[in-house]
Amino acid sequence: MKKAMRKNGVDMENAVAALYIRVSTDAQYEEGYSVEAQQERLAAYAKALGIKNFEYYIDGGYSGSNLDRPEMKRLIEAAKAKKITHVIVYKLDRISRSQKDTLYLIEDVFLTHDVAFVSINESFDTSSAFGRAVVGILSVFAQLERENIFERTRMGMQKRVESGLWMGGGRVPYGYDYDHEQGILVPNRDAENVRKIYELYLQGYSLQKISDMLGLKYERLAQQILTRKSNAGFIVYNGVEYKGLHEPIVSEETYDKAMAMLRERSAKRFVSSTSHLLTGLVYCGKCGAKMRYQKWGKNGYKFVCYSQQKSKPYLIKNPDCDNDRPWSDEVEEAVMGAVFDLSAKIEKDEDGAVVSMSQILQRQYEQLAAKVKRLYNLYAESGNTILLETIDENKSELAAISEKIRLEDEKAIYSKSIKMAKDSIRNIADLWDYMSIQEQQNAVRAAVKAIIVTDTNVDIKFNF
């Protein structure tokens, strides 16, 4: 009887080899790395070993940086189920470029389940002690090469963005396509939606409303689109802005106005979701808390200080506040009368002197800083911890004003915003009856910063 051929204790007549092939997208057509070239070499080597039964495991277009590859997963399952006796690869880095993953496969998967690992290019197999030692050394170099590739790629990416080219590949911003030949972004048919998002947002619509109007899946998507600097012709890489070669969808001025409004809204945390004209603008003149619309029998609504409510304790400023509760229609009438008067004044003073917005902001900052100083002095004298909350609120407002001053000095953002606000209420008295409640709310908020109600007195703070 013919004796079965054995090698290192393995019956080669019954041996089953897994011929593993990995081709990355970058090396796909390099000589010696194509699928066909690897298949030919691996099959010839298996036959030379006397292995008649073998199967190909091919991962095409997958990186060797991890094991998340379909055929690699199937190979691991086959090894653990002891369906194979050998794993043969053309080169060590075909199985993995990670030292950790390579050692895991060899020590925890192959050797543990009596599977010999053979690499043709390095001329060793793990059925010998020497082969096991060599594979550990070579896997270190595979890891080093992977890290070198990453470093070269990162440096190349840096040079690309510095020259104005897009980073390439996936994650192309909404509203653009990627031109592989030119290496730049090109506006597509969704660019009009991007422009519309900025237009509607600057008109006062909420991000949720904009999402509903444009058929976007969720509000967060609208915000992500709004805040992308690439829409204004820039590329942001590792936190640094670079001027891109691609065509902007919106002007830098429009982008800056939208970001200023976003910061303003975030500070106020106001979203118009009611039909009440002055929601979010009215404050108590006695304790400083916000005032809300509250249904008052069949006669309408009144403004009620939150300090007089128990439903939202965190909004209470003074539980003993005794401010009056004026009828909302009376307050609205007073406010609209003042806004109409302001509109008429804008028409008359068209050629008047231009007010320096930087000076106005600086004056606001100085007044608020003085207030914070007084509050600190009061806290030092009384030790009343309630003052700390007020101090923190004022410090946050100081930081917001400081940012406004910076933007105004650099780009005159708020001077331009004032001009837009004035334009939005020009001839408002003639148009009022024809406007929707949303348009009326937007017009009022363009002109009015806050409404302070003290008993029957209404004090209106304008934005300009």
Active centre residues (catalytic): 24
- With left for phi above 0 and alpha for psi between -120 and 50, is residue 280 left, alpha or beta? left
CA angle 123, 117, 47 (to 5 degrees): 70
DSSP states of 333-389 as a string? HHHHHHHHHHHHHHHHTTTSPPP-HHHHHHHHHHHHHHHHHHHHHHHHHH--THHHH
Dist. CA 145–CA 397, nearest whole Å: 51
Strands (E) located in 116-257: 116-119, 124-125, 176-179, 184-187, 234-237, 240-243
CA angle 249, 252, 254 (to 5 degrees): 80
Dist. CA 83–CA 109, nearest whole Å: 13
Dist. CA 435–CA 278, nearest whole Å: 15
Which class for 416: exposed (0-12), middle (13-18), buried (19 or more C-beta within 10 A)?
A: middle
Dist. CA 302–CA 330, nearest whole Å: 9
Question: Which pairing describes strands 282-284 and 184-187: parallel, antiparallel, or unpaired?
Answer: unpaired
DSSP states of 2-56 as a string? PPPPEETTEEGGG-EEEEEEEE-TTTTTSTTTSHHHHHHHHHHHHHHTT--EEEE
Rounded to 5 degrees, φ, ψ at 78 are -65, -40
